[in-house]
Structure 1
């Protein structure tokens, strides 16, 4: 059984059984392009980084799933899973061959086999241990990407999420430092968009 068949017959049903793409505000991003590939000159790019699955709940990317074919070792994709999660600053990542699930917590370093995927609510509660009303309100506001024609880059996602987390925690000052051409205006707009649509300004 090749990787595509393994995904269709085993991995997709397992994710659905856990509520991904079923529970309201949850979705699965398939073949998610993390990077476009390193610029090599003469109009050429290197190989892009593409995650097989990214699990999203309440507009937060909460986990990566790296799939391999049925006959591969369970941990064959663990290295890629860690690399992709590290790149996107996502705490939880999983490797699977359809027969089992190997879970990795990038924060604690704990890893091992799991009997099932966590549900969206379970993963949210584990990612955000302390409740925060403003975080929850900000999470209801998706990025403004002009109907998908202007998707954000992974590091822009990280910058916006860290800024919103700082605001939710009522920190008095926030400093974001990015290189020229990396989309600071885009990031500032997304932060302002979330603040406006969550009515944060009315509480000041």
Structure 2
């Protein structure tokens, strides 16, 4: 009978048989191994505590909530320091000078020109963009629009995220746009979600076009000239802020 077998060594492994360190002593399979103890359950991951909030009732009889642990000092138009509560009460009293209703605020905010004018007037009255951004953090609305901050202060309406705002308005925004316009508007909206309402300023348009198309001349060729681009950029914004 056959008393051998053949190994086909394609990698010259037989050289290792002469190396005493390669093979070593045979493993003792009979040695008893210590039994492994029962696995201890992992400690549950604790969620970070929700920052405490304080409730402030304003003259409309409704409460606004702000984070208690964020220490921020605001400054009035005449240079006096104010607490967050004083800032809230002051701004609540002042905002009716700039818009009388939620619909009026939406109309103003829907156009880059009137939105910019409103923000400039607010800054002159002591409620600048930095103050609004600080207050935005105090109401946990960093992912929302500054529009939501003004709505919350004036009308006690809960903020929504920029992403949610886009999702709610997307079908209306894309109505009547061709594929190239739609692609550009989608790009603008992605920047808006990522950064904020400043991405919708007219001053940002050249930067957005360059970022998307590398050259403004290429953007004009794709989207149909400066006037068409401008109309597309301004036109979709009214749908973004329409009441759902």
* TM-score, length basis structure 2: 0.23
> Greater CA radius of gyration, 1 or 2?
2
Q: In proportion to residue count, which structure has more strand?
A: 1
